[in-house]
A and B are shown apart, each in its own frame.
Chain A
Amino acid sequence: MTTARHWLLDESPASRLQANLGHAYRMALQLARNPLAMVGAFILLLLILAALFAPWIAPYSPLGQNLEARLLPPSAQHWMGTDELGRDIFSRVIYGARITLTIVALVAVISAPLGLLIGAISGYFGGWTDKLLMGVTDVFLSMPKLILALAFVAALGPGIENAIIAIAITSWPAYARIARAETLTFRNSEFISATRLLGASHARIITRHVLPLCTSSMIVRVTLDMAGIILTAAGLGFLGLGAQPPLPEWGAMISRGRTFILDQWWVATMPGFAIIVVSLGFCFLGDGLRDVLDPKQGGKS
């Protein structure tokens, strides 16, 4: 254990792999020193575990109805009570983690690289390329996210896939803006000039030199935005345009529980708690990551 630690923290690594692993290990150590970030990481770990092992964790089927056990309050048998069709809310929340995780992951995978690339190209080349790309970005930015997503879903038809596409389309412009701003700060710096003098192509400079410097702030921003993405997905679900019944999507569950909110509060509250906890988890982790990954600090630590 100590030898592995020494190997990782070696000031003079002997190979590329050791240097990179050491770098990652140092960052992990720094992250571990931030208690809130660890809370966030723990919540996300729970979410991932819940999604992975849902069939083993959930005591009941998320879809199976039992009309004799309708709207039961939380008890030892049903930890979060049951809904209007007698389905166990705890089981549905656990299965809902899968849907939430899918939405979050797919949106991140689609919109972050797209925004990153557009922003980096825009900032690196400047001039007309910049004006054109940022014009398009501004058009998307000027519309409220949820409304734009609503319009897309209305055009594409309701459903979880279309909700993901709609959220991804509406969330890339913010990333493009950040990547562009970040790129502008070092596009004229000497290490970029030096690379150009080596005969490197623009494509190479963007992918190998510009993008790696933008990614850390991007990771932070994406983690912080995850809460917003979950809320947008829940919002779409609430409006009936996201996941369709009987899928246990948290937003849709709140929407169904709205009818009974005064007499059977748990139906809407439990999935609401899940949304809050997971959103908080992402926020905490994002905050911690910002401290670790911020390029302005990374060089000095």
Chain B
Amino acid sequence: MSAISLKNLDISYGPTKVVQGVDIEVAEGESFALVGESGSGKSTVLKAIAGLAPEWTGEISVLGQPRGHMVDHGFARRCQMVFQDPYASLHPRKTVDAVLSEPLQVQGIGNRGRRVVEMLAAVGLDTRFRFRFPHQLSGGQRQRVAIARALMLEPRVMLLDEPTSALDVSVQAEILNLLKRLRREQGLTYLLVTHNLPVVSFMCDRMAVMNKGRIVEIAPATALHDGSFQDPYTQSLYAASGGNPDRKDI
């Protein structure tokens, strides 16, 4: 059974079709990257899976269960999303504790205090941060809180929408290491959107390259080491990012 299966997926915002004919199979436990320029529709694919872009046709199923067009209650426990900008994804008037308790309240899960403390430890935040407001945290700490919120419901699939692109370089590495460790510890499946090829080679097993709303190539992440891409667009993207990402600093 594949963790995420997209078949012939078309997504539109009103009259404009943003994504066309996307077919992706992500195996359970795999880390899969969607790569492309800005506006190539990669984030839109994530939004459609999450239920935030309801105008799509085709088939989406997560962990073998086909998904409807709207946000739904049960889906939340299988699949969660981490957003790009940690400054926009946390409610400015809620403490870390309130943010992390919310998923448990919504889903009617008890023992909240203990779970919040455990999760803070899991994402590497000291318990003294528990009752702080977002404006008292740094960008990296906020993103840790956002990751913790997504993990509160113990989902098996995580959608990551450029989780590090709004952060400083040194903090990026910390967050990537955290995501890598969490995947190993909890056996998560990642679908990661990024325009940063080094992140792909660090985090992912396979990648799909998107251009103008279509997938032009699906390749193993190892192709980033030798540049063995078939499609001309992918080759130009690879060349533009400076070739083998492991040879230069992230």
Contacts and interface: CB of A to CB of B under 8 A. Distances in A.
**A, B bound:** yes
Interface in A160-204: 189-191, 193-200, 204
Contacts of B93: 212-213, 298
Nearest to B50: A197
Contact of B133 (A23, A191, A196, A212): A23
A12 B129 contact: yes
Nearest to B90: A191
Contact of B128 (A12, A23, A213): A12
Contacts of A195: 91, 102
A211 B89 CA distance: 17
Interface string B65-93: 00000011111110011011100111111
Contacts of A246: none
Q: Which of A197, A208, A298 has the most CB of B within 10 A?
A: A197
Could you say which interface size class chain A belongs to?
20 to 34
B153 A198 contact: yes
B149 interface: yes
Interface stretch (A14-22, A101-109, A136-144): A14-22
Nearest to B84: A190
B135 interface: yes
Nearest to A192: B91
Contacts of B102: 195, 198, 200, 208
Contacts of B91: 191, 195, 209, 213
A147 B128 CA distance: 57
Contact of A14 (B131, B133, B135): B131
Contacts of B88: 189-191
A18 B149 contact: no
B223 interface: no
A109 B107 CA distance: 33
A13 interface: yes
Interface string B122-155: 0000001101111110000000001001100100
A263 interface: no
A194 B131 CA distance: 20
30 contacts: A12-B128, A12-B129, A12-B132, A15-B131, A19-B95, A19-B97, A19-B131, A19-B133, A189-B88, A190-B88, A193-B50, A195-B102, A197-B76, A197-B81, A198-B76, A198-B102, A198-B107, A199-B73, A199-B75, A199-B77, A199-B103, A200-B106, A204-B106, A213-B91, A298-B93, A298-B135, A299-B92, A299-B134, A299-B135, A300-B135
Interface of B: 50-52, 71-77, 80-81, 83-85, 88-93, 95, 97-98, 102-103, 106-107, 128-129, 131-136, 146, 149-150, 153
**Closest 4 pairs between A and B when the two form their complex, measured CB to CB:** A12-B128, A199-B76, A19-B131, A190-B89
